[in-house]
């Protein structure tokens, strides 16, 4: 099992505000790093493609308002989940982080671990901006 956790960042919004923004998949567009060459979103999923990695479509897997949102890969070829954990600090701030879990073979893990770590850290940094 490959597991990558981002740093935890403090966000100047309530847990409910952040949750509601993340549940709108269009808001992931501005969070994408420069290495993302393609991004599309609709009501149920979003798709992105990074340099050197095939297109990935994520669909909503589970949610617990306002503390947890988990997406899973829509493809059976890439078996992984991406979760955002949100914890309220007070009425106007919260903290959040991302957790990536996958069942990759060793060769694929070696190829994608570094770009995925950078991607997850970038998402965490951008939580403050959405």
Domains and CATH numbers, the chain: 2-126 (3.30.530.20)
Q: What pLDDT, on the 0 to 100 scale, is given for residue 75?
A: 86
Contact 40, 49 (CB under 8 A): no
Residue that has been written with the tokens 């493609």 in this structure: 49
Q: How far apart are CA 16 and CA 89, in angstroms?
A: 12
Q: Which of 9, 8, 2, 14 is nearest to 82 (CA)?
A: 2
- The structure's pTM equals 0.92
- Per-residue pLDDT at 54: 80
Instruction: Give pLDDT, residue 23.
Output: 94
| φ/ψ (deg, to 5) at 35 | -75, -10
Tens place of pLDDT per residue across the chain (130 aa):
899 999 999 999 999 999 999 999 999 999 998 889 999 999 889 999 987 778 899 999 999 999 999 999 998 778 899 999 999 999 999 999 999 999 988 888 888 889 889 999 999 999 988 8
Per-residue DSSP letters for 34-101? TTEEEEEE-SSEEEEEETTS--EEEEEEEEETTTEEEEEES-SSS-EEEEEEEEEEETTEEEEEEEEE
């Amino acid at each position: 099992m490959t597991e990558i956790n981002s740093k935890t960042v403090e966000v100047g919004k309530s847990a409910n505000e952040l949750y509601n923004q993340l549940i709108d998949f269009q808001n992931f567009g501005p969070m994408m790093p420069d290495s993302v060459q393609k991004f599309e979103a609709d009501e149920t999923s979003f798709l992105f493609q990074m340099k050197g990695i095939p297109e990935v479509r994520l669909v909503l897997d589970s949610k617990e308002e306002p503390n947890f949102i988990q997406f899973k890969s829509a493809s059976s070829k890439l078996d992984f989940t991406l979760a955002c954990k949100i914890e309220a600090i007070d009425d106007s701030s919260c903290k959040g982080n991302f957790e990536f879990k996958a069942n990759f073979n060793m060769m694929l893990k070696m190829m994608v671990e570094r770009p995925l770590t950078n991607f997850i850290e970038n998402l965490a940094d951008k939580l403050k901006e959405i």
